[in-house]
Structure formats: structure tokens, C-alpha cells
Structure 1
């Protein structure tokens, strides 16, 4: 005897699958984004789509990636992108003119999505008084980094959660501590022939909020699965932490999204690497390598002269008198590089640095410089015209060489 059609045992065969189609929801969200905003690339559109979707499953993630929407000038669409993000993300919380205390108290175990327009009010030159908010945005990228506050009324130390996804829009770059934890979208003004639909809050937001609700229902039904996911990542370390929620959402949706998500990771992280300004400390390491050439040692005074001789380097104007021996020593000690008294082949002694003491730091912090040049000695970079520095002349005692330009420091 067979079960009647409405028997639970046959329900999977008689009723259609009513689970949301994740790939179709992501497609709809991407269509909404690109209807109102011109994004700089298809990969950027995919990345923003996945970031917004991931905001609906924040309890599943170990890291809360930031979305940085930056532009070189006004009228590049960053505020409009933030508007559409606000309409489609999970529980949007606008932090413009919000006190730090209000922001902290708004974060719970199921946090809102923080949205900050004109982020220069937090990170720019007029950002005095926002230290607490900056601290929250830095710490809140990772779980279990609560802020500690002493409550004088109860005499107890209170732990306040900081974990929450955040989107920040502003002109110019954000601090490294933010962009290193972010999906960075570099907006630009619309070009000739590029057009978008006008966005009207009252007219357009309700449909976008319904899309947000559909995304929430889809992802919240599978939080346990999302939390346990360990997707293969095309990047490592902090980049992997930042992008993993987006990749997990894409894999959960299926269709073309897994491949598109990984293409977006590679494209946007490569763009970030190309546009990242290296710190002065790493710049100093690289410039020291150029100054040394193949010489095994240099006097401090000679090393400083060569560093400050480069018109495109910051060392001639590094402080009132340029880079000094003391400042050089302070920076290099961070890499366990210290000056010493060196005896040269002509019998003189001078305070200076040995090239061998730099090799470990060069390999760790500026490995791109390890690629050998096509001609000449392995460690001498190629120069154009008259920009090539004079040959280093100080060497360690016991090795052949000249010592025509001696100096002390």
C-alpha cells in the first residue's frame, strides 16, 4: 500500500523545493547595485554584492570585513553606493554624528552593520575626539576583542562587544589599519555615456529592503553550515580572514558565484597591493639596499649622504635637518640592525653598518628587491642617466677595495 499524496513521507516528491535560490538573490542584489551606481569594475560589483550579503550572516563569521568606499574627489558616487548598501544590508546603523558611547552600546552578539559617510571626520586631520570610535573600527574586525570600561556605579569592569561589519565612505585613503582589513572600492566619476537610474529613498528603498529580507531568510537558515565552512582561498593571512565570509557566501549560493568571488578577490587584492604606499620604515630598508650596492659596509655618514641624495626619497626633508644618524639608528633597530665601529682596509675606523646585517630584513620586508638585475652585479639596481650614485668606497678590513671617501658618524 502506498502513502497518500499528502503523507509526510512523499512530501519531498510532491511539493516543489521552496528554499531560496541564493545565486538568484545575489544576481538580483548585483542588478540593484549597478542600476543606481557605476562601479569601477565587474569584480568590484561582485565584491560589494557579496559583502552586503555577508552582513546578513554576521553571527557565523570569525572576522567582520570592512567595506571602504573611497574616491579621489567629490561626485564619484560613494555616497550613493553607501545609500544602496544601507538599503540592502543587515540592520543598518548610520554613525554620522553618533557618539562613541551610542555606537558601542548598539553592538550586540548579533551586531548591526555600521555605515559611516564622510569618514574623514574619524580619520582625517580634524578627527580629534574620535579615538574611541577609531579603536572600535580597528578592533571590531575580529571576534573576542571587547572594549573594557570601568563602571563607577557598580565598581566593576565591563566588557563591551566591538565585533561588527562596517562600511566607510570618504575622499582619499583610509588608514592602513582599516584598509588592510577591508574590501576597498575605488570609485570614480561617471564618464561620457555612463548613466544610472536616480535613487529615491521613499520610492526605491522599500523594494531593496524586501531584497534584504530575502537575503536574511536565505542565510540565517544556514548559519551553522556557514560557520563551519572552510572554503579554499586564493589569498592568505589577513586577506584570507577578510575575504573568507564573502567566499563562503558565494560557495553557498553556487552557480557562477564561486568563480566570480575568487576572481574578485584576486583582482581587488592585486589592485590594493599596487596602490598601497609602503611605510617609511620599509622605504628606508629598500633605499639602504640601493645605497649599499655591493659594498659590504658603509660609514653612517656616507649612508646618510646617499639616502638624502635621492631627490624622490623623503630623507632630505625627514625632520628639520633631514634624516640624522640618530633617527636612522632608531628605525633600523626595529629590524635588529645596529651600527658598529668598523675598521676599513686603509686602517681607519668609522661608525657604520654592515651590509650582511640587512639581508634578513630585506628578505622579509622587501623581497621584491631580491630579483637579480639583467646586467651587472647582483645587488646593484639599474639607474638612468646621471642618477646612479657614486661607487661605495668603504669596506671591511681584510677585503679588497678602495677607501677614497672616508667619513665618521
Structure 2
């Protein structure tokens, strides 16, 4: 994209290409703050939907974070604009006490939770965000300054996933990553639609603001947003290639017990490239512990070094115990000091235990799931663990079926007809595969 094009409004053909992935969904939600970026997203999507009668049902979500006096009026302004464009809008209010420090991070977490919950309630199959090319460049620089690896430097994904409190994933789409902010501002101006400005965006106390201030100087040295975006896109392709190797290694060498723990032979990991090994460990930690995000790279590197230290080593990271016993590596969910909260449910419905297991109950069925280790004595014989460490099943899900009956996947018992208790599968690899066609590199080989 040539520099003179940065001030040109986004055209219909460009919007049609950018929004093509939205056609995969029957219902989507747009997160609109009222700033220039998300206002442009609202205008462009409304226009695109008018041209595509086969397009998805669209809902607008806006958050009143109650951090500034103007926030309520700004949310009402978004709702009014959505109404003029013929789209329903829901205002989400972040109520309750606000954090005294690190307010941006707190607001971001609260906003994400509100948006995911509302999207779920509306039946939206994806949440659409207004991040753009300049956001991508700033994210790249921030992560570069932190010493991030290839996955961090891939910056923001065009297609990603956010998890709710239970661990269920919601697709998150960023179709505007190919457009510079100036083009989104120009889109609002051409439509004669005003937008609001958040003064915190100019506060140099925040890293992103300081990185944004550096952009003109970096552009003079050839490091403009387009160049940084292309670099992030190429690194995303490299990350996707690494993920293929990780998935192949897991399929060939890892054993996933139905009750939660995982094991893999150390000899099967010994010949892996360092970057693949670290990514594999990150994946195993997330799959075993149920955390939404992997640990930082330096912690992964430290864990890898510890596990290579000898045949009898144990360490804990991201809520997961990693124990090397001879030439076998075992990983399992750590119960923690406070234990694992039980789940009581009545069907019909889909329920999640500890962000790791899905319980499906038919009409009229009810059940309670607890961690196996919370019992004074296991209802299953010690031999049920086989050659796995007995401690690896302390966090295993135990479904109580009655006074004397219980079921734990892979250890004992059987569920009634129509009842299912199984490991919750994530969609991380799906999003990485989508990056093979990263829009930053659509004209590159």
C-alpha cells in the first residue's frame, strides 16, 4: 500500500474483500467504542450488509466503562448511529469498583468479559473488532521491546479466539488489519459522521502511546506501519508452520488420558528444534491446565531447561505439574491450595468443569462433578491408574451419578445414556491455520 493511499477512504471493493470471512457466520457482533476506528467499522459493515442480503445477522455492542464522565453519552451516541443504520445495539455497563492502578489493563479485561458474555447471549458466532494496521505495527514494536519470540512478533491474528470464564472459545475477527488508521478516519469524514476521542490514548504513561509517538521517526528509516505489518504477517506464517510440526509431534508421540493428564517420551522430544519444543510445551500446558494464555517465553525456556536436567525432576508452571520420571514426561493439572471448585448442573445443557471438561446432560438429568483428589478415598482401585503417577489424577473429573455410583473418564464407571463428560477441546490450531492466508502477505510468495 503506497503512502499516498493512507488518506483515502476504504472503498466498497476493499470492504467486500475484507469482510468475506464474515459470510461464514449466520450471526456476528461488532464491538464499537465510538472512536474513529470502530465507527468506521460500523459504517463499513452496515454498507457491506446492505450490499449482501445473504450476509449474517449483525448486532452492535458498546461498553460504557464508566471511567470518564463522557462514557455514557458516547455509548448512547453509538447506539443512536447504529439505529440510524438499521442495526440493533446493546449498551454494556462496567459497574462496580474500578482498579486504582493499571486501569487500562483492568478496563480491557472487563470489556472483553462483557463483550464475550453479551455475544454468547445474543447467539453470535463471532465477535468483530476494529484493530487496524497501525495497531498491528504498535503491537509488533511493543512485543519486540519485550523480547518476544516468533509467536509474539506475529502480533495480532486476523482470526483468533477469546475464552469466557468457563474456557469456551469465541472466534474474534479483525478484518481491518490491512487498513491504516488514516483511511478509517477518512471513511468517517466522507460519511460526515463524528467520532469521540479518548484522552488516555495520548497519555505517555502508557507504552502504546509512546510507541505511537515513535512511528513517524521510524517511518523515516523505512520502518513504517506497512513494513512492520508485513513482517508480522510473515512471522505469523512461520508460527503457523511451527504449529504444523507441533501438531504432528503431539499426534505421533503424546498420550492424552481421558481423565486429563498427558505423557510423552523425552526421547521423542530430544530431536525437536528448540522453537518447536517450546511451542509444544506451551500447548501441553494450556491443554492440561485450562489456562486461557500460555506462560511467557522466558518461563517456558526455564521449564525446558529444568526438565532436561535429569531423569527425576518436577516443576510447576501455569497451574500444571510437569514431572520427568526416567525417560517419560508427565503433565497434569495442579489442584492448588484452594482445590478445584465443583460443578453442579441440571440438564438439558452444556456445562464446563474447571475450564477443562465438558459435561452434557439431557432433559431431566442432573449431576455433580468434583475433582477426584477432593475425596478422602478414591472409588476406583489404585490399579486403574496403570503406569501413570497416582497424583496425576487428583484433578481428574469425577461425575457423581448417585449415592454409590461415580464415573471418571478412563478410570472407572460409565455415564448414563445421553450423558457425556469429556475433555474440552480448544480451537487454537484452527486459528493458526487460517493465518496461512494472512492479508498482509496476499501479494507475496
Normalised TM-score (structure 2): 0.25
RCO comparison, higher one (Cα < 8 Å, 6+): 1
Report which of the two has the higher share of strand.
2
Normalised TM-score (structure 1): 0.26
Report the structure number with the largest CA radius of gyration.
1
